[in-house]
Structure 1
Amino acid sequence: MKLFLLVALTMAAFAANSLLNRVGVASGAITAEMFAFVRVVAGSAVLAVLVLVQGGTLRAWPSFWGVLGLTAYLVGFSQAYIGLDAGLGALILFGGVQVTMFAGALVLGERVPAMRWVGMGMALLGLCWIVGGVATHGGAQLDVAFMALAALGWGIYSLIGRGVANPLQATGLNFLWSVPLVALTLIPTGIETPNAFGITMAILSGGITSALGYALWYMVLPKLHASVAGVAQLSVPVIALVGGVLLLGEAVTVPTVLGSLVVLGGIALSLMRVKGG
């Protein structure tokens, strides 16, 4: 029961990133660029403390692709939530990450079981269905493109991170080195002073639901089978969708619900353990 509660808390933290980002940016309390910057600074500070408390060090070189992937995720994520609802954005992100990692596995020469091909095809079909419906609304194409960038970045980041010896330390380093890159996005638009609400949302997203959420996830991961960990993450877009409806008053359409079921069903199918897979 304790492990279940820890996993549930972690998934809720991941989903909360979407809710915090959406409410902060969409309300006009903070710009998307500033949200991403404050988030990465807050996350870096908390992760640095966690790494040092555990006796680790931040005097090392991070992965170039890891930093680039994380930066793309942070920037694309914040920009996408200017227009996307929290649950819809989380679904596009999660589905896109899985597709990216699937493509990465092929590039790396991993043997992909037939069931996984079927599952990813189903998930991709569902994503196309959802994105096609969203893209009919004016201005939504750019939001979807930014979330696709975020998915690509997080997918690459996840692929790079699979082989690291110390995930928490690697994450801390990547966050620290992403700070100046995310700061560059402030230059084109200029630095607009956010209000206290916007800053609070960004700090909560970076320091609590991101940094502490990742730390908690690393703590429970060794206790879970890979397939269980994968299926557990299917709850993230669902939690974000429900949270968006209950807390932010976002609408739910039948096509979105049906498309979500197709995406999540496809991903679940691809995560099933099959003989020889």
Structure 2
Amino acid sequence: MLFKIVLAMIAFAANSVICRFALVQNQIDPMSFSILRVLSGVLVLSILLMGSYRKSQIRTKLNWNLKHGFYLAVYIVAFSLAYVKIDAGVGALLLFGTVQLTMVIYGLCHGENINWKRAVGLLLAFAGITILLLPGSNAPSLGYSIIMVASGIAWAAYSISGKDSANPLNSTYINFVLAVPFVLIAGFLFAQNIHISWQGFILAIVSGGLASSSAYVLWYSILKQIDRIMASAVQLSVPCLAIIGGSLFIGENIGLRILLSSLIVLCGILLVIFAVPKKET
């Protein structure tokens, strides 16, 4: 389980780094990136779905739910638009900080338990995120930050809906297919200065086909085995990974404060993961 979580979080962080790298290098515009990302996701998931049918020789019924596709589309479009002006690490911080807050509130409102160890873990993780936002670094644009927060709310809704997924591959395929028309409409409404280089094209395909579609299948399978509070906490590792990736591949600044906050976040996450509340008998 821990290996699956680590793999999924690395993929999530990779999306932030890939998207920011493509946009900051002006290799592609945000709407083209979003469209190629969702279309390549559909293609890869179609191949995986056909492979699973051939292997099992059993075709399960596909249950279509429009709102799940809408959540995914809002997340993808807002994600790309926000990264026009926000660094990879800061964007991931805003995104998954919003995700944590949304999912924790939802989980507590729906009866999920939280013991003192998990509470301390969540507070530690939140403290680490707060340290990242302390004055000393360039503050992100308010407008683009709001867009990223909207992306975080949409991703939280998408993750919450995945808790009841009977078949992660089927559900993810359906969600990507349903997201296509929403993303295309957004592309028509918000497209400006459309341009696609070969490098931008490849980055968008890698983001959609590998770091998104396959990783989201894995994420849905993980969500079936953990509660919403743990799901929200483990995703707080993504900003730390994105900050490191942004520094290595994009040249974004990294310092002692970032390393310290990352360590605090990871310690908090470990507390949440291993301090599972005992079930009442």
Shorter-chain TM-score above 0.5 = yes
RMSD: 3.5
Superposition pairs of residues 9-158 of structure 1, within 5 angstroms: 9-55=7-53, 60-131=62-133, 133=135, 137=139, 140-158=141-159
Question: By how many angstroms is 1:64 displaced?
Answer: 3.5
Among all aligned residue pairs of Structure 1 and Structure 2, give the percentage whose two residues are the same amino acid: 34
Question: By how many angstroms is 1:44 displaced?
Answer: 1.2
Structure 2 residue aligned with 1:172: 173
Equivalent-residue separation in structure 2 for 1:72 and 1:127 (angstroms) = 24
Question: By how many angstroms is 1:170 displaced?
Answer: 0.7
Q: Does 1:185 align with 2:183?
A: no
The 8 Å contact of residues 11 and 236 in structure 1, kept in 2 or not, is answered as yes
Structure 1 gap segments, 5+ residues each = none
Give me the TM-score of the superposition, normalised by structure 2: 0.80
SS of match in other structure, 2:195: coil
Question: By how many angstroms is 1:130 displaced?
Answer: 3.3
Question: By how many angstroms is 1:243 displaced?
Answer: 1.9
Equivalent-residue separation in structure 2 for 1:134 and 1:32 (angstroms) = 28
Amino acid at match of 1:102: V
Bigger mean CA deviation after superposition, 103-112 or 32-41: 103-112
Structure 1 pair 91–164 and aligned structure 2 pair: CA distance change class (3 A): same
Equivalent-residue separation in structure 2 for 1:12 and 1:126 (angstroms) = 19
Match of 1:244 among 243, 246, 252: 246
Structure 2 residue aligned with 1:161: 162
Structure 1 pair 268–134 and aligned structure 2 pair: CA distance change class (3 A): farther
Q: Deviations over 1:22-59 (max 9, x none)?
A: 11111111111221111011111111221232227697
SS of match in other structure, 2:108: helix
The 8 Å contact of residues 17 and 242 in structure 2, kept in 1 or not, is answered as yes
Give me the TM-score of the superposition, normalised by structure 1: 0.81
Structure 1 residue aligned with 2:272: 270
Amino acid at match of 1:181: F
Equivalent-residue separation in structure 2 for 1:231 and 1:189 (angstroms) = 33
Equivalent-residue separation in structure 2 for 1:232 and 1:130 (angstroms) = 17
